[in-house]
Amino acid sequence: MSTKPTVGRVEIRIAGEGGQGVILAGIILAEAAAIYDHKNAVQTQSYGPEARGGASKSEVVISSEEIDHPEVLSSDILVALSQEAADRFSASMKKDGLMIVDEEKVGRVIFMRTMRLPITRLAVETTGREITTNVVALGALVGATGVVTREAIEKAVCARAPRGTAEINLKALAAGFSAVEKAHIPR
């Protein structure tokens, strides 16, 4: 599997529409990195006019060093859960970056290194709850990139899961990891 070394600085965007849990996904990923993997992490939401149209994005910078600039300028990793997100952010990918898209939400993609997974469908099939889409996406993201350890993301998901939902969230996370194992690896 394509694994990005997590020394140095890694810039991640998770983008989609309101209601897909994009912001919470960013928070969970940052907490996995900082609290459980003992790195530094900054997590940012910028709200401009597009927020009023329902677009949602979360940015996470993870580094073993101190983080001077919290902005994501060009993404090492982009998860796009809507066509608009894919269109808007694929141009600012790093050349050797990895884009992961929900294949049922995103048709056209101009970026070569793109992994297509049925993220929302996997959430519904695995847990019966579309609201776990963001956690499936996190499983895919971490499975494909190793940007945080599996143990760290599992702990971070459980810490943020509403009471009584740790088990189904861990199932959703595992579904994301499995999907990546079976997926086409973009070169």
Between CA 59 and CA 46 the distance in angstroms is 9
Between CA 116 and CA 26 the distance in angstroms is 20
Choose between 38 and 184: whose C-beta lies nearer to a copy of itself. 38
Is residue 166 close enough to count as binding a copy of itself by CB under 8 A?
no
Buried/exposed code over 49-81 (b: 16+ C-beta within 10 A; e: otherwise): eeeeeebbbbbbbbbeeeeeeeebeebbbbbbb
Q: How far is the CB of 155 from a copy of itself (least distance, A)?
A: 12
Distances (CA, A) of 133 to 62, 88, 89, 171, 186: 22, 21, 20, 11, 22
Choose between 92 and 178: whose C-beta lies nearer to a copy of itself. 92
Is residue 8 close enough to count as binding a copy of itself by CB under 8 A?
no
Is residue 108 close enough to count as binding a copy of itself by CB under 8 A?
no
Q: How far is the CB of 162 from a copy of itself (least distance, A)?
A: 8
Is residue 164 close enough to count as binding a copy of itself by CB under 8 A?
no
| Closest C-alpha to 11, from 68, 49, 52, 54 | 68
Is residue 3 close enough to count as binding a copy of itself by CB under 8 A?
no
The alpha carbon dihedral of 22, 24, 25, 27 has a sign of positive
Contact letters (x/-) for a copy of itself, 22-61, by CB under 8 A?
A: -x---x--xx-xxx--x-xxxxxxxxx--xx---------
Is residue 75 close enough to count as binding a copy of itself by CB under 8 A?
no
Is residue 74 close enough to count as binding a copy of itself by CB under 8 A?
no
Q: How far is the CB of 66 from a copy of itself (least distance, A)?
A: 8
3-state secondary structure of 148: coil
- Residues forming contacts to a copy of itself in the complex (CB under 8 A) are 23, 27, 30-31, 33-35, 38, 40-48, 51-52, 66-67, 70-71, 162
